[in-house]
Chain A
């Protein structure tokens, strides 16, 4: 469940080919550059060539050149050079997937908390500029009530949010709702405990 909401700790990498010139020494055929992600984090990429060479990239702008003999050579690229060289490529990157969460009044399938009404406004604005948004809506409950009732309530909450989105006039690529009942709480509580943070609907936009 947490995994679903986790921020995207992305790993950026880039593969670029250049035409091999004819003269020796062995020409560079591929270049791989590891970039920091939108949150400044850096992942890791292991580059392996058919001839058995291996290099691990795990720092920002770490770069591997591959020559036509399959030899890997590590270096560090300059961020400004990357921007100049690949700015056009990077500017065509799809927008980052994003999640919104709204919460509900106790027992209600259609009454949002006051702060969530503002979230719905933000969501509407956010969706305007989004290309072909794929929207997945997941409803949850707190632990008041039976498991069976909460399954029904969680789906009803998701459907209520779906209806709000449908009324926004955005053209969604896809829009689907599901309910998870009380089985994925944000805050673990004993049974029968009313907890607003668990009475929620997550809206995941890809």
Chain B
């Protein structure tokens, strides 16, 4: 029974890949004119809004938007910015994954998260002229010591 269900859901997700939309993160800070562009739709980038793979964040002159991805990567788009989230996948157990985003205009600040530590070649940002590969440092692998509340 449960195997049939599993099979059915597998077949379903193969047949309708567009329905298995990947949630990449959540808007935490929103100022001024800040929007999420999803296909043909434009939604306000309100605090608490989910951001999915293939979404774009677009800000106006007075806008800024801060987004935390599921691996704790933090992206901040400044005024007059377009940020396209091309790829995001993240294994919550191994922390292996990929982040790929493009800035076509404006400004973006990035604080890398768990993926940059577990998948040093998995984090990529693009502008129209350059590609940035974000590598972690060796510090990142330190870990087995018990960590106090941070």
Chain A interface residues toward B at CB < 8 A: 2-3, 5-17, 29-30, 32, 35, 37-38, 41-50, 66, 68, 70, 72, 86, 88-90, 92-101, 119, 131-132, 134, 173, 186-187, 197, 206
A29 to B67 CA separation, bound complex (whole angstroms): 25
- Apart from A15-B132, A99-B150, what are 6 other A-B pairs with CB-CB below 8 Å? A8-B111, A14-B108, A43-B112, A92-B78, A100-B149, A134-B26
Q: Which one of B48, B109, B129, B143 contacts A93 once the chains associate, using CB atoms below 8 Å?
A: B109
Chain B interface residues toward A at CB < 8 A: 26-29, 31, 47-48, 64-68, 70, 72, 74, 76, 78-79, 95, 103, 105-114, 116-118, 125, 127-137, 139-140, 142-150
A70 to B130 CA separation, bound complex (whole angstroms): 8
Given known contacts A134-B26, A173-B26, A17 and B116 CB-to-CB distance under 8 angstroms: no
Q: How far is the CB of A112 from chain B (nearest CB, A)?
A: 14
Would you call B28 and A131 a contact (CB within 8 A)?
yes
Would you call A206 and B107 a contact (CB within 8 A)?
no
Would you call A2 and B143 a contact (CB within 8 A)?
yes
- Contacting residues, chain B, for A17 (C-beta < 8 A): 103, 105-107, 127
Would you call B72 and A97 a contact (CB within 8 A)?
yes
Closest to B63 in A: A92
Given known contacts A3-B117, A6-B143, A46 and B127 CB-to-CB distance under 8 angstroms: no
- Contacting residues, chain A, for B79 (C-beta < 8 A): 88-89
- Contacting residues, chain B, for A100 (C-beta < 8 A): 149
- Contacting residues, chain A, for B118 (C-beta < 8 A): 3
A93 to B136 CA separation, bound complex (whole angstroms): 20
Given known contacts A86-B78, A206-B68, A13 and B149 CB-to-CB distance under 8 angstroms: no
A157 to B135 CA separation, bound complex (whole angstroms): 37
Would you call A3 and B112 a contact (CB within 8 A)?
no
- Contacting residues, chain A, for B103 (C-beta < 8 A): 15, 17
Q: How far is the CB of A11 from chain B (nearest CB, A)?
A: 4
Q: Which one of B129, B130, B137, B142 contacts A44 once the chains associate, using CB atoms below 8 Å?
A: B137
Would you call B147 and A93 a contact (CB within 8 A)?
no
A131 to B31 CA separation, bound complex (whole angstroms): 13
